Amino acid sequence: MSRFKLVLEYDGSKFKGWQFQKDLPTVMGKLMDACKEVFSADNFELYGSGRTDTGVHALYQVAHLDIKTVMPPHIIKIKLNDVLPAAINILHVEKVSSNFHARHDAIARSYVYHISKRRTAFGKDNVWWIKDKLDVKAMADVTPIFLGLKDYKSFGIKDKDGDSTLVELISIKIFEIDNSILIHIVGSHFLWRMVRRIVGVLVEVGRGRMTDKDIQRFFGEKSEIPSQFTAPPSGLYLERVYYKGEQIDDEPQWLVNIY
């Protein structure tokens, strides 16, 4: 068996998330189907760096594939892309050590959330259009409250009992570009729906309905309030997965203009 690192992008609006689900279209499921076709084999293992929910996109998802093959990485990339649906694209394939693990070796992840300030005919599945005028400065002013190692029990859902809700956020920055507001978040890892709830709370601050004191309370004791303002998945993009030796960027490496 050889192990390959795969970097891919996908339009999440076409799938029921990353994780394989029987009888439902998922990114992992489509990638597994492609592997079966390209390698004419069922004997392989595929692991992603983490799950993305239904409707959430990825600009840089990472997976590793264990497969018996003599095909070089660049041919694997070409052949997989030939059979994958248009909404999934393999960006890079490389052969790696059998010790590499797409999920366990990740040291940080970054997400970008895209808010549109105006109605768009082309980006309904790719942005969150907010009609209200948002105070972006007020949103930016409260971002330091989220930084550092904190208990995100009010913002996320654990995968299973016993999992910690402690997460270290490295950076949150907000960029306003033309009709777009981009919220860039970098952290050690993220709980299920955590990013979307952070965004939802920041939007409420921008609307003038929440303050820094409200956010402090969410960290002081468990609250269900952030869950009530969970941002839709359409605007969320997994931007990058980082591994040891890679420089962590605190600014988004992409700009989108979907109007």
Residues annotated as catalytic (active site), given as ranges: 53
What does R_g of the chain's alpha carbons equal in angstroms?
19
Taking the CA atoms of residue 21, residue 22, residue 24 and residue 28 in that order, the dihedral angle to the nearest 10 degrees is: 50
Q: Tell me how far apart the terminal alpha carbons of the chain are, to the nearest angstrom.
A: 46
Asked if residue 100 lies in contact with residue 65, where contact means CB atoms within 8 angstroms, the answer is no
Asked if residue 129 lies in contact with residue 122, where contact means CB atoms within 8 angstroms, the answer is no
DSSP secondary structure of 42-77: S--EEEESS---TT-EEEEEEEEEEE-----HHHHH
DSSP secondary structure of 142-198: HGGGG-EEEE-TTT-B-SSTT---EEEEEEEEEEEETTEEEEEEEES---BTHHHHH
Whole-Å CA distances, 110 to 45, 115, 190: 25, 17, 9
CA dist 44 and 46 (Å) reads: 7
211: three-class secondary structure by DSSP: coil
Taking the CA atoms of residue 140, residue 141, residue 142 and residue 146 in that order, the dihedral angle to the nearest 10 degrees is: 70
